[in-house]
Amino acid sequence: MTIRPDSLAAAHVLRHAIAIGPDSEQERIELGIAEEIPLTLIFNEFHVHAVMMVTPLDLHDFVTGFVLTEKIIACATDLVSCHIERHEDQLTAHIRISGADFSRLIRRGQRLLTGGSSCGLCGVTSLEDIATVTPSLPAYSIPVAAIRKALNALPAHQVLNQKVHMVHAAAWAAPDGDIHYVREDVGRHNALDKLVGILSQSPRDPGRGFCLLTSRCSYEMVEKALTIGISTLVAVSSPTDRAIQIARKADMTLIGNARSDRMAVFCGAHRLIRPETVEMMTT
């Protein structure tokens, strides 16, 4: 697993609470709580594009993934620089992109709303702004046993969630089920943007392995995964109908309700080794 650059200490705080037991007994306890603070995205020194609520962890990965999934740049190398500053309870990302990319961003206009940590599309004026051109996804096979292995291993890799028990994770695993990257955030979209960010800078082929989501899989999660060429997406919750339609059109393997002993394949079963062992959902 890749060492994460940011300190977990900056991503959570300790808070006291009163725990009430089944027999009304009370106990004073201390809990880890994930931080959620505003990150202002400023492009080329003066254009404030959006304010996103994020967990202050792996922020460079988040910015890289955000500008990729928002179609602000075409590839990670188009991000010229990114400098992040923190002043008390506010973060600012000073992002520099090329003149051509910046001109296109200006023509699009800034987001109209603050993006909450649970929101992947707040302020986008048109779905065409983030619609992904259907890529040609690889047909690499993924063993069902590898997916089970990764699902069992994921909790141990969720180092922030072990402390706060409240954040989402997006992970990427190799075809053998070994997890190589995990990114966490209070926002499920933010977690996936962070994963896209690190994968865009990795020598590994995202299409060779698979992505795990600890959250529900709405259509924009499929769109984000397609941006980086992820061909197999596994979520612990059910996907929406629109997510299934987009995944099917892209020939993506989409798995929902994923547990170590049972999972539902909604499309793309041809990538799975021994797909007959998986409950098929095709309607």
Which residues are tagged catalytic?
A: 119
Q: What is the dihedral of CA 198, 125, 99, 83, to 10 degrees?
A: -40
Which letter does DSSP use for residue 170 in this model?
E
Would you give the distance in Å from CA 15 to the centre of its chain?
Answer: 27
Angle, helices 59-69 vs 219-227, to 10°: value is 100
Which letter does DSSP use for residue 131 in this model?
P
The closest of 226, 221, 210 to 273, measured between CA atoms, is 210
**In what helix (H) or strand (E) does residue 171 lie, and over which residues does it extend?**
strand 168-173
The closest of 85, 110, 69, 54 to 224, measured between CA atoms, is 69
Distances (CA, A) of 1 to 51, 149, 173, 199, 270: 30, 15, 10, 13, 28
The closest of 86, 83, 82, 57 to 67, measured between CA atoms, is 82
Q: List the structure tokens of 219.
A: 């259509």
Angle, helices 188-200 vs 219-227, to 10°: value is 10
Which letter does DSSP use for residue 64 in this model?
H
Q: What angle do CA 215, 198, 180 make, to 5 degrees?
A: 70
